[in-house]
Every structure is written in structure tokens, then in C-alpha cells.
A and B are shown apart, each in its own frame.
Chain A
């Protein structure tokens, strides 16, 4: 699909993401200015506070953004998932340049000018408003400009905590190996940053009073620029507002559905969402959340349900050692989730998604490989490519390599979605993928059998809050209907429609529900 064609098809969604992005950045900078400028002014009055406060703001900025989001998630009131957490993180990032430039700007006012102001009998407030702030304004606006450009970039990461914005396209593009998505996300973010930089640059120039840069625009032109910028923002907001989000959830039963950040999880969430909507329930989708976010969100009530795998819940959430009996794993998870989290585990959906250890088909045929044990002797010449998740989890790489005695020439940690391409293009020789991955067939990859039964069973289920089931009766009916409703082949086919054929998940799910008569 050409980029142009992609844009034509996805224009409304792209505009929605741009709008979310702008709103996030705008609110974050607004709040940061409201906090940062007064804080900066206070620091010019209290010298002793300057070091500690600027130091703290400095440290804030050195925390990698993804980590900062992570720290914020468990914190009540400001944390959790969604725009609020993103906003808090963005404000924290934006504070440093704004506070620092406010301090620098005000302290940079010439002492003789300040002395003249005092000597003329201006009060502290008059000096601040009429002399110090106007003279420092150029430097302060520079700080705001820097903060804004940084915020446009950091906001792309905010998609990982479900805040929306252009990061949604970038993350999805990485996952689905889709350059159109990547390009649309990255290009739009870059254009936003450039536009913000340019507009704030114009504002900045208004506050230059020395002879060299004295190119003041008239008040009229200044007003015109301001008006044009506001119109642009409003236009984007207006265009993209059409037809998204229902006006109010209040009248209807309301369910928030979440998912993890990969195609299958999002698909399973979409299936429940559409079935609920067909039964008159209003659904809020918080899809593609990173890490353990969906779990945390269901526990704290931000979400009502999300799709999970019993093996993952067993090892990653309950921290049990891997076992291979599916029944035992399911029962244990059901019992512990009910007592620990007040979460109900739905009936299994009918398919398993375990780790599939893959090699190239041609390689498997050449070396006559069937099982992982068959491949073990070759691994000293092989490079492996594993997702971050597989590298770190209890049932992942450390136990896996030990069980089979694997010693790779090199182990690369990379984004899971990129491992398929890396394998098929000879960049790596073995990967750990999802067994329901649609591209296993299309890329001629071969799944080695887990002959020592290392991987625990990963039956797909939904994790649902008990109080949500009580609140929305349709939920129980939908989950019952989905019990045993999806085979492994079906799941693979659905995944392939999205990842391979780049189709819209909503349409694919709609089709499938229709076909199954659900």
C-alpha cells in the first residue's frame, strides 16, 4: 500500500491521534508554565532553594521517559493508565527548562536597570511585572520552546501507557513491521515539533530589545500569528472530533476493555468490545498497553477486563515456577486471582498461545530438525533474537537455555515483532515467537517441538473484575459464548489478516463475529 493511499484510508484516525498529541502537549506545557514560572520567580528570591530545586528538576529530566511512566503507574491519583499519567510525566519533563530559564532570565536583567527601578520607588510587584518579567520574557519563552519540542517527542512514548497520541502509530508500526504506520506517526510528530518550534520562535523574537535583533512585529501582526495558531489547533480539533467517542457513557452500562501491546491481545479485546456493543453496552477501548499495565489497571479498576494467558498469569503475575499441566495451571490461577485480586478468570477461549521456537524452514529441512533438542548442537554457530519479554520473564530465556543446554554464538534482545523479519532475512537464526503468529506460514518458518515440555500452557482467557460482572450482566453471557470458541488455526488466520494483510482489526473482528454467529 502506498503511503498516500494509507493516508487516505486512515486520515480520520491520524487526525484523532494528532489531536490527542496536541492536547497532551498543550495541557502539559500550560501546567508546566503555571508551575514553573512562579517557581522560577520564587527561586530568584530565595537563593538557598535554587540548588536543590534545580537539581531535582534536572534529575527528573534524566529519568528515561518509559521508566518515569513506569514509576508513576502504581501511584494513586496521579498514576494509573491513560492521559493523566502521561500528563504528569510530561509536566515533570517540561519543568526544568521553564524553571531554569525563568531564573536565568530574571537574574540576567542588568543590575543597573533593576537598581534604577528600585530607586524610582517601584514596589517589588511592579518591578517584577513591569521590568523583570518583560526583560526576562525572551529567555523564558526560549525555555517554553525547548520544553514544547521535548514534550512533542516524549508524548510519542505516552502511547505505552494508553494516553493515545502519535506514539500509537509508531508502536503499532514497529509491532506490525508497517512502514506506513511508522512514517505517519513519526512524520506527524516531527512536523508538530517543527511547527511548535517555529511559532514559539516568532513569539520569542517579540521580546528582543537590543539593537541587533530589533525586528519587532507590530501588535497587529503578533495578534494575527496568535490567531492563526489558535485557528490551526481548533481546526484540527474540530475536524478530528467528528464521530469519535460517544458523547456520554452515563446513560448506558459502561465497560472499559484493555489489551496488551500486540496484535492478538488487541484482537481478543476487540472481539469482546464488539459483542458487548451489540448488546447495548458502551465500551471504552484502552488497547495496546505495555508490560503489566493491563493487569494493574484491572486491579485498580481503571479497566474492567483484558485478555491474558494462564501461563503468563501463573508465572509472571503469581510468580509460580512453570508447570506443564494446563488444567492445574488454570485452576490455580482462577483460585488465586479470585482471592488476591477479586478478578474472575473467564472460561478458556479454546486455543493456546505458547512460545514457538522458530527457525527458517529451509534450515530445518537441510539439517533435518524436528525438536528443540535436535537444534541444540547447532546453537553454538547460531545467533538468537528474542523479545524483551522473553529475555526477562520467569518462563523465558534463562530456564529455556538451561533446560535444553543451548549456547548461542550471540543473543540479541530486540522488539518481538521485528524478530520474524530478522529471522527470515538471515539476521538471526532462531527466535521465540507466539505460536499463533500468522506470519509463521507466510514467511516459511518452522516451529521446533518443545520436546522437554519446558513452556507452561498458555491458554487464552479474559481477566474480569468481579464487580464488573455484577454490574453488567451482558458481560457474563458474552464470556460464556466465547468459551472454547476460537481454535488455534482460527487465531492464526485472524492475526495474519492484521499483520500480514494489514487489514483494519475492527473489520476483521466484525466479519469473524458475523461468520461465527456470536
Chain B
């Protein structure tokens, strides 16, 4: 196993990095719930209704978006360790690893930007209703419509897993198929600009509920698969750390 290009941290450090995905789900999920965004305000609501929603939930939205903003950043170590484990598929840092790292870095911003916009919308209760409505629209567009990077990331991970020719693959192949489904399942949300009601609207069954369930399932499965890969690397010959009894054995 060549690792001349990049030295991986110890298995313990990698495990801690992997667990940051769970921290993300807990903190980010709690933030969404606290901000009273479940269910989302309808895109069909009038400016007065949206303005009232922000005025009545100002405190909840401010604290909820704070959790979301901080929680989004906890994905940085996870996407880094996922890339480290993907590197083991080919034994070196290849184009797919680079694409995953790039997509992961942008995804963190995708998670962080919407709560900032929502917080701005809740910053001055009683302001012009149309301004609040526009900021609310912008926040939900960034939240739900911002699906390109995550879709591409899922495809990149799927291609990497499918290309695994090791006798003991780094990730199970069904995880690749799940990634393909995640990529397909996110796409209906791309249509939300055309709808204010129905399944394709930003509060709709496909664009929001399916996408939300898919997204968190995706993160949890990636977490599980990454942790499994770290543990297998730690006990197997594919270890990139100095291992007295296995060093010198070709991986």
C-alpha cells in the first residue's frame, strides 16, 4: 500500500474524525427542529404569513440557526477521513479522491450558508414583509435547491467504490448503489423553482421529505462504512500505519 504521497493519521484519530459525522447529524438536526423548520413554511404563504412566522419564532430561529451554522462545519473532519479511506481503493490519492475532497469542502458551505440567511431574516423582526419573504425564499433555495454538489459527490463516491478491485473491497458495493440512488433521489428537488405547492415544492414530499430522509440516511451509511473501513485497515495488512508484525508484508 503506497502512502508516500500522504501520511494517514492513526486509526484512533481517524475514528474520532469519522464520529464527527454523528455530531453533525445530532447538532444540525437539533438546529433544524429548534428553528421550527419542520415542517418548512410553505412557498405558497403570503409575505405577511412568512413575516409573522419569523416574528413569532425569532428566538428559536436565532438559536436553531446558530446550531446549524456550527454543526455544518463538523463535517470537515468526516469528509477528510472519508477521502483518506477512499485513497485505499487504488492505494494512492487519485482524481476521484480529489473530486470527493472538493465536493466535501463545498458541501460544508452548502450546509452553512442557509442558516446564515435564515438568521438574517430573523435579525430584524417587524421589517418590510417583502424583505423577510425574499430572505426566506433565498434561505430555502440555498437549503433545498443547492443539490448539485451533493449529487456529484454521491456519484463520485459510487464510481470510486465500483472501481474497487481489491480482494477485500474498502467499502461494500451496496454502499455504491445507495449513492447512486441518493444522486437520483435528490434530482426531483431541482424542479422546485417551478412549484409553490405539491411534491416538488420546497416543502414537498419529494423535494424536501424524501431528500431529507435520503440525506441523513446517506450520511449515516457513509459514517458506518468509513468506520468499518478504518477498523478493517487497523487490523488488516492494508494498514498505512507502522505495524510491527505486518510491516514489510506487501499490502
A and B together in one complex: no
